[in-house]
Structure 1
Amino acid sequence: MTTTPSAARPSAPPPGRSPGPAPALRPAAGRARRFASLRTVAALVLREMSTRYGRTPGGYLWAVLEPLAAILFLSIGFSLVIRSPSLGTSFLLFYATGYLPFDLYNSVSSTTARAVNFSRPLLKFPAVTWLDAVLARFLLNSLTGALVAILLLGGVLAVIDSRTVLDLPAAVLAMALAMALGLGLGTLNCALTGLFPLWEVAWSIITRPLFIASGIFFLYEDLPPLAQDILWYNPVMHITGLMRTGFYPAYAASYASVTYVLAVSLILLALGLVMMGRYHRDILNR
């Protein structure tokens, strides 16, 4: 009978010592990976800031002037047709509280949808992922939109000398919901545009009436019942109504549902993340 050499036998633990569990992985690798991802997102934000605003005369000033011009044109135009807005006496405040949350949602949604195409050359590097590109555009446009809203609404309140009782939590909630809806829809459109290039054109045509159907020019309560039943499913209508409750104490947008807007935003975001996680390589290789 042949004996197995001792070198081939599995080594036994020393007498009196039981084999312990395998050493746990160090958490430093996970922290380093998260820190590297944060640095990547910050670098992408700085790159877009320099690309969009750094090469244009006036820079960030245009981010304030564009919505300001839109609000002024709306106020002057409608003041020539109707005597007073649906709420209060100031056309500037009425249209600012409707236009600014819509503009925030629209800006976040459209820029997030183009995140992969905008950062496509950088996505060839392993350190940069599609999620970094999406988060960078979302953060930059959300912070820019929030800053513009603070400046313009503060300026409007100072100019009209209004004694408005500001409900800050309602206004902040409306802006946060606009960001969430823009992120969810933008992420889903990022995947759909990457898979079907014509989707961007089709989406711009489909949503063109959204500017009129989002409560910027009117109140939900002023509409006939049939229009109310249809426009209730427009989540932006809920956001504009909630925004106006923060500036008009006598106005209660009873139709506005935070749960509905949040549910729509999360569902769209989940669909977008699943599709991008599944098809991002196909999108990048097109």
Structure 2
Amino acid sequence: MEESVERKKRHPLKERADVMKALMLRDLRTRFFNHGLGFLVVALWPLCHMAALLALFTFAGRQPPYGDSLNVFFVSGLIPTLLFMYVSRFMSVSLLMNASMLAFPVIKPVDILFSRALLEALAGALTAAFIFLILYALGDDPLPFAVDEAVACYFSILLFSIGIGMIVGTISIYLPIFNTIYALFMIIVYGTSGVMFVTSSLPTAIGDALAYSPVVQAVEWMRSAYFPTYNSRVLDKQYLVFAAMTSIFLGLLVERLTRRMVYE
């Protein structure tokens, strides 16, 4: 009797896991070339972005403000910035791209959102691994000075990305123009992230204003983990962690409140 009750308790969780697995496999096959290897393209896309930017700055003869390697300096800013941009952006279109799947009663919007979040998290980790291998091949040391701080920063901005992706993705399913606005907003996020400059070196008023962006905080945190002499006056780690937790909460809340609209 107890075993039967236990099976019933596990059944909903197993059902959700099976649904998310099916959605992930479908995503893997349909996003690129109708083949699972398309997942590698997802991971390589931001890598190409980084390579183009690094080549541009190297050709321009820029010197790293911190450390001995221009590659490592820019990568320390690009990793959290592109992680946020790609994870939140791809999550924001997940419901729009998979709206037909909601015709199946067993599939809920949150299943689509979380399955995409898992895929993007895996893609982000794979991208980071590729970056490390390339930097090693170029003779650079890609390991941060404080590994624990870099990992904490990475997961904080990842959670923030997932939360924002849930909010934008849920709203976009019944207000598609919002997704276009968000895509354009990414240009501003990238330009003000601090990838191409040191936020602390800006005039106080400008630097303090930019510091309200969690992406800027992630860049500052990651660079402080890479360079022991990187003293950022705008870094607030607790602010980024709070923003991450808040975005996840709001993402779940918005999905729950708008679930009926999504089905209509």
The TM-score, its normalising length taken from structure 2, stands at 0.89
Give 1:162 deviation, angstroms.
3.9
Cα gap change, 1:83 to 1:268, in 2 (>3 Å): closer
Q: List per-residue Cα deviations over 1:128-166 (Å, max 9, x = no partner).
A: 111111110000001111121122123213413449664
- Which structure's CA Rg is the greater one? 1
Q: List per-residue Cα deviations over 1:209-245 (Å, max 9, x = no partner).
A: 1111001111122111111111010100111111122
Q: Which residue in the other structure is 2:262 paired with?
A: 283
Q: Which residue in the other structure is 1:212 paired with?
A: 191
Equivalent residues in 2 for 1:71-110 (5 A)?
A: 71-110=50-89
Cα gap change, 1:167 to 1:217, in 2 (>3 Å): same
Aligned residues: 262
Indicate if the aligned counterparts of 2:32 and 2:38 stay in contact, CA closer than 8 A: yes
Give 1:266 deviation, angstroms.
2.4
Q: Does 1:226 align with 2:177?
A: no
> 2:135 and 2:188 mapped to 1: Cα distance?
27
Q: Does 1:238 align with 2:217?
A: yes
Cα gap change, 1:165 to 1:266, in 2 (>3 Å): closer
Q: Which residue in the other structure is 2:244 paired with?
A: 265
Q: Residue type matched to 2:86 in 1?
A: S
In structure 1, the gaps of 5 or more residues are 1-22
Q: Which residue in the other structure is 2:21 paired with?
A: 42
Q: Which residue in the other structure is 1:6 paired with?
A: none
* Pairing partner for 1:141 from 115, 120, 123: 120
> 1:80 and 1:214 mapped to 2: Cα distance?
22
Moved more, 101-110 or 87-96: 87-96
Q: Residue type matched to 1:77 in 2?
A: L
Indicate if the aligned counterparts of 1:90 and 1:160 stay in contact, CA closer than 8 A: no
Q: Residue type matched to 1:244 in 2?
A: R
Q: List per-residue Cα deviations over 1:10-35 (Å, max 9, x = no partner).
A: xxxxxxxxxxxxx9x92321211101
Q: Residue type matched to 1:271 in 2?
A: L
Q: Which residue in the other structure is 1:55 paired with?
A: 34
> 1:28 and 1:259 mapped to 2: Cα distance?
41
Equivalent residues in 2 for 1:110-259 (5 A)?
A: 110-162=89-141, 166-259=145-238
Over aligned residues, Cα RMSD in angstroms?
2.4
Q: Residue type matched to 1:261 in 2?
A: L
> 1:141 and 1:118 mapped to 2: Cα distance?
15
Give 1:67 deviation, angstroms.
2.6
Q: List per-residue Cα deviations over 1:15-62 (Å, max 9, x = no partner).
A: xxxxxxxx9x92321211101111111111111111124536973443
Moved more, 176-185 or 199-208: 199-208
The TM-score, its normalising length taken from structure 1, stands at 0.83
Q: Please give the secondary structure, in 2, of the residue aligned with 1:27.
A: helix
Indicate if the aligned counterparts of 1:190 and 1:272 stay in contact, CA closer than 8 A: no
> 2:51 and 2:116 mapped to 1: Cα distance?
28
Q: Residue type matched to 2:189 in 1?
A: L
Q: Percent identity?
A: 24
In structure 2, the gaps of 5 or more residues are none
Q: Does 1:67 align with 2:46?
A: yes
